[in-house]
Structure formats: structure tokens, C-alpha cells
Amino acid sequence: MVSKAQPDDAGGKEPRGQWNSRIGYILAMVGSAVGLGNIVRFPFVTSSNGGGVFVLIYLIAVLLIGIPMVLAELTLGRRSKRNVVDTFRNLGNRRWALLGLFFIFFNVYIMAWYSVIGGWTLIYLLDGFSNAYFADPTSFFSAVTEGPRALLFHAIFISIAIGIVAGGVSEGIEPAVIILMPLLILVMVGLAIYGITLDGAGEGLSFYLQPDLSDVSGGTIVAAVGQAFFSMSIGFGALLTYASYMSRDSDLNEDGVTVGLSDTGVALLAGFVMFPLLGVIGILGTAAVAEGGIGVAFLSLPVAFGTIGGTLGTGVAVGFFFLLFAAALSSAISLLEVGVGWLTDRGYARWKSALVLGLLMYCLGIAMAFSSPILDLAAGALTDVFVIFGALIIAVFLGWYYERYLDEDPGEEMDRGAGSIRLGRASYFMIKWIIPAVLVVLLSLAVLNVAGVEVMSGA
Ligand code: PHE
């Protein structure tokens, strides 16, 4: 990912790495953004929140809140050239650094469930060879996604991520993203076109595309903003960490917009794959969630593989899950790198840092590998709380404290190095006056939502 140490132009003591090339870091950021969030979590939250209306609010959230927040996070990382905790210490003070520690905690938490689902992609990849889930996707899903096998593959997934991060975020990510990401998109376009021709697909499409405004509630907005943040990797310190390896005159506007829009494109495409297929099996909306929880995508996809049939069906299944696994892995690497970047900056060996954090993530994931209700809560409503909180810290810091501490205009800093796209001023306005207020309200709703879910599942 990054070349060997370069002098640190932020005035720090330690020499730090830099990205080898602009395309390299854009690809790594796209690799971080595009993952299980787009292909697994997006269909799940769309199903639980009324379909089309959720998609509409999601798109508004991406444009008005997501893009300014991407820019904010990148700006902080590029300015400080430090890991997330020390960014808050260096640009702010020790109290802010304590808040920075929350990001390490979020990442451990998120990775716990992320790796459990990453493990499922491996199970589906291997069992695709024997067409094990083509005939009865629902029974297969409940048999393998909860229990010892899920735990084993959680362990395998996290070990692979630890191995890659321990070796230094690999040079391999760039070529992998260049080749595998377009292939994933190609296979998804093929599946979407195929799925739409099947009987019953129309119902799925209209669930996905026709907004019914009477369905909107506070919960819909929480879920849409939470999903936009999660999918674009906002509020974790991951973009911040990657941006800390950039030079100060890189064009954050163009890069941020590229990452944000490509991520959103892949999520929308995933909807075009999943919803027609869910329509074919006749489980849309909350019915789909009742059957599959966060795994609704794993119920719909086999429909396509099964009806394609033969060697081609097997090949598409195996190929798809391989590509999904790769996309999940490139996101997982960036999640793990946040904590590892912090520990290595504190002088710990990279492999030790990756191992210790990875083990914590593994342990936290054990309960989730054994209980789908716990997993659904952890990956759904509770994740919304964390990402909204993470984004709020970043927004308040940039909007209200940056100028005070550094005596620099954050809007100008955002636009430093920008070409024709200059969103710094408008983003700063949003981040100062609108976004924190919106996020405080949404955070309160998100917390209530979690309490509600617990009451329901305890009933
Ligand atoms: N954005 C990733 C996804 O959609 C998840 C992620 C979040 C990865 C934050 C890294 C940091 O799957």
C-alpha cells in the first residue's frame, strides 16, 4: 500500500509512509467502502424499512450528509498524518484523544460481526461447488449460519485478515481491487438482468423502486443515514487512517466523490440483483427479514444460481461468492488497519498488534456466530448507534473545534489541492450548522431503537 518511510511534512517526529500512487489510494478506499455493507446489509435494511422509500432517503443522505462527511474525515487524516487517536490528540487535545479511542472500540466491535458474515461467504463459496444450497436455500441458510461451522469460518476469515494486515497492508490490494471489483460488478449486472426476466421479479422491483411516503418514520431515517455511513466507511476512522498517508495537496474532493458515488452505485446494483429474486420466492419486506435477518441476500441469490442450473449455475455461484469474499476482505483489512495503525504508531510490532486486535474481534464474534438474533441486533440497530456516534464526533470536531485549535478555515483546508470539484465551503457549512444537529436527533432515535429491539426480542 504505502512505500517505505518518508519525511513527515506535518512536523511529527516519526517518519511515515506515503501512498505509491493516487490510483492506489483511491482503489484502497473503494476497496474499503465496497463490501458486505453494499451487498448484504443494504438489502437487509432496505427490506426492513419499506423498500423504495428507504432507497430514496438513503440517496438523499448520501448526497447531503455522506459526501460532506467523507470530505471531513479525509481532511482530518490528511492534515494530521496520524492514526485516528493521535489525530484527535494532535489537532485537538488529550480529551479529544479519549474520544478517538472510541473509534478503536467501534472497529473491534464492527469487525466481530463483519467477520462472522465474511465467514458465510466462504461457506457459500465452498458449498457452491456441490450446489448444496440451490434446492432449499432457507434450510441451508439456517443450518450453516449459526453454530460450529459459522464459528469455524469466522475464525478462518479473521485469520486471513490478520495475516494480510500483519504483513503490512499488502501491495496486493491495488491489483486485487483493479481486477476483482470490475468483475464483481460485471457478475452482478449479469445476475440483475437475468433475475429481472424471472417470474415474480416485477413485484420485487416495485418494492425496491416505488417509494411509499406513508412508510417514513424516524427509524427509516436513522437506518438510511446509518447505512450511508456504514457503506461509505464513514465514522470509523478508516478513511481518516488511509488519508493520513496522503500528501497535503492531494485532491480530496474528487477522490471523496469518486469513492462515495462508486460505493452508492454498487449498493443500488445489489438491490437490482436481490429484490427481483426475493420477488420470485415471494418473500419481500419484513417477511424476508423474518426468514433471513441480515442474511436476506443469501436467501435470494441461490434462486438465480439454481434456475441457471448446470455447470454454469455452479460456476456463477462459486465465482460470485469468491468476489464477495474478496470485497469483504478488502473492507475488513481497512477496519483492522485503524487499530493496528494506532498500535504501530505507539511502537508495537505490526504482527503483534494485528494478532491481539484480531483475537479480540474473534472473541466478540463468538456469540454472534451462535445466535442470529444477537447477530441481527449487533449488525443492524446497534451498528447504526456506533456509526452515527462516530460521525458525530468527526462533525463536531471539524465544524466547531478545528478552526479554534488550528486557526485555519476547515473549508479552505478541504478544498486545498482541489481541481474543478470544490465542495469544501458547502460541506463546512453543512458540517457546522446542519449535520451535528441532525445526528444528535438521529443518535437519540437510534438508541431508542435498540432498546425497542431488545424489548421485542425478549418478548
Ligand atoms: N464500508 C464497508 C462495507 O460496506 C464496511 C466498512 C466500514 C469497512 C468502515 C471499513 C470501515 O462493507
Quote the ligand 1 centre to 230 CA distance (angstroms).
6
Can you tell me the mean pLDDT for 250-279? 96
Model confidence pLDDT, tens digit, residues 242-264: 899 888 888 999 999 999 999 99
What is the Cβ-side half-sphere exposure of residue 268, based on CA atoms within 13 angstroms? 14
Between the alpha carbon of residue 315 and those of residues 127, 176, 355, 425, the distances in Å are 12, 20, 35, 49
Q: CA gyration radius for the chain? A: 21
Top pLDDT among 386 and 7 is at 386
SS3 of 49, please? Answer: coil
What integer pLDDT is reported at residue 14 of this predicted model? 44
Closest-lying ligand 1 atom to the alpha carbon of residue 40: 12
Closest-lying ligand 1 atom to the alpha carbon of residue 239: 11
Closest-lying ligand 1 atom to the alpha carbon of residue 234: 9
The protein residue whose alpha carbon is closest to atom 8 in ligand 1 is: 331
Can you tell me the mean pLDDT for 408-432? 95
Pseudo-torsion of CA 206, 207, 212, 218, nearest 10°?
-150
What integer pLDDT is reported at residue 17 of this predicted model? 63
Taking the model in full, what pTM does it have? 0.93
Report whether pLDDT(175) > 80: no
What integer pLDDT is reported at residue 8 of this predicted model? 42
The protein residue whose alpha carbon is closest to atom 4 in ligand 1 is: 37
Amino acid at 76: L
Out of 230, 232, 236, 239, mutate this one to test ligand 1's pocket (max ligand atoms within 8 Å of CB): namely 230
Out of 84, 262, 264, 335, mutate this one to test ligand 1's pocket (max ligand atoms within 8 Å of CB): namely 335
Quote the ligand 1 centre to 300 CA distance (angstroms).
22
Report whether pLDDT(170) > 60: no
Calpha distance 291→415 (Å, rounded): 47
Model confidence pLDDT, tens digit, residues 138-161: 999 999 999 999 999 999 999 999
Output the average pLDDT for the chain.
92
Quote the ligand 1 centre to 231 CA distance (angstroms).
5
Confidence tier at 174 by pLDDT (50, 70, 90): confident
Paired residues of 6 in beta bridges? 16
Can you tell me the mean pLDDT for 425-446? 97
Phi-psi region of 242 (alpha: psi -120 to 50; beta: other; left: phi over 0): alpha
Quote the ligand 1 centre to 10 CA distance (angstroms).
28
Burial class of residue 314 in the structure, from the number of CB atoms within 10 Å of its CB (0-12 exposed, 13-18 middle, 19+ buried): middle
The protein residue whose alpha carbon is closest to atom 9 in ligand 1 is: 233
Can you tell me the mean pLDDT for 333-339? 92
Quote the ligand 1 centre to 238 CA distance (angstroms).
8
Confidence tier at 453 by pLDDT (50, 70, 90): low
Model confidence pLDDT, tens digit, residues 359-416: 999 999 999 999 999 999 999 999 999 999 999 999 999 999 999 999 999 999 999 9
Residues lining ligand 1, judged by CB closer than 6 Å? Answer: 32-33, 35-38, 230-231, 233, 236, 238, 331, 334-335
What integer pLDDT is reported at residue 23 of this predicted model? 82
The protein residue whose alpha carbon is closest to atom 11 in ligand 1 is: 233
Q: Which of 358, 394, 326 is CA-nearest to residue 27?
A: 326
Quote the ligand 1 centre to 21 CA distance (angstroms).
22
Report whether pLDDT(168) > 80: no
For 376-457, list the strands marked E by DSSP.
Answer: none
Quote the ligand 1 centre to 331 CA distance (angstroms).
5
Closest-lying ligand 1 atom to the alpha carbon of residue 35: 12
